[in-house]
Amino acid sequence: MRVQTRRCAQVLGFQRDVSNGSRSVESALAIVLGDLTTCSPLLRIHSQCFTGEALGSLRCDCRHQLEIAVQAIAEEGRGLVIYEYQEGRGIGLTAKLQAYALQDSEFDTIDANRALGFGADQRDFSLPIAILRELGVDRVRLLSNNPRKAGALREGGIEVVAEVLCEAQPTEHSLAYLRTKKEGSIIVRLTRSFVLRFIMD
């Protein structure tokens, strides 16, 4: 199912039924700017981060990564952000807050997840792949620090022609977190500090 609103960009809502023992619905938004069918558009697959994006947590770089990606897409005039509801790398908001408490006790972000019985990254990227297919996109330049996203896209039949690093400036609050995160090969480096100007109203 797809829901669309239109301004200078399109905001498309996608959802699908998930059968995992109990019936549930998985959903995501695609924020689309310009024509995606020519060349290889910039793509950011972004997982919801309520603590960083709504509460302004300084512990992570999620909000800054989203701003960097949106700015790059706005400057190019085309591309898309797929915004997924996979808080805390897929463990959910409540578990993420529990992981925060463990991080205050000298656990790093990955060890905190594992102490709670989760993997380092619980996310599933099959819905973004389905969204790209629905939009007719089979080649992208991926805005990400996570090589696992690129691998998932390639396994799903999406060609990743470039991996563009979204690197936020570290702070005293986020440095340990950023050191823990795993980074893949860097082809293009984007480091920016700016106010988010790409507003769809």
Active site residues: 121, 123
Buried b (16+ CB within 10 A) or exposed e, 56-90: ebebbbbbbbbbbbbbbbbeeebbbbbbbebbbbb
Rounded Cα gap, residues 66 and 49, in angstroms? 10
Decide if 125 contacts 156 (C-beta within 8 A).
yes
Q: Locate 191 and state its tokens.
A: 């480091």
**Largest CA-CA distance found in the chain, in angstroms, rounded:** 49
Decide if 166 contacts 144 (C-beta within 8 A).
yes
CA dihedral over 174, 179, 181, 184, signed as positive or negative: positive
Q: Locate 176 and state its tokens.
A: 């340990």
For residue 38, give the 3-state DSSP assignment: coil
Beta strand 10-19 pairing with 42-47: unpaired
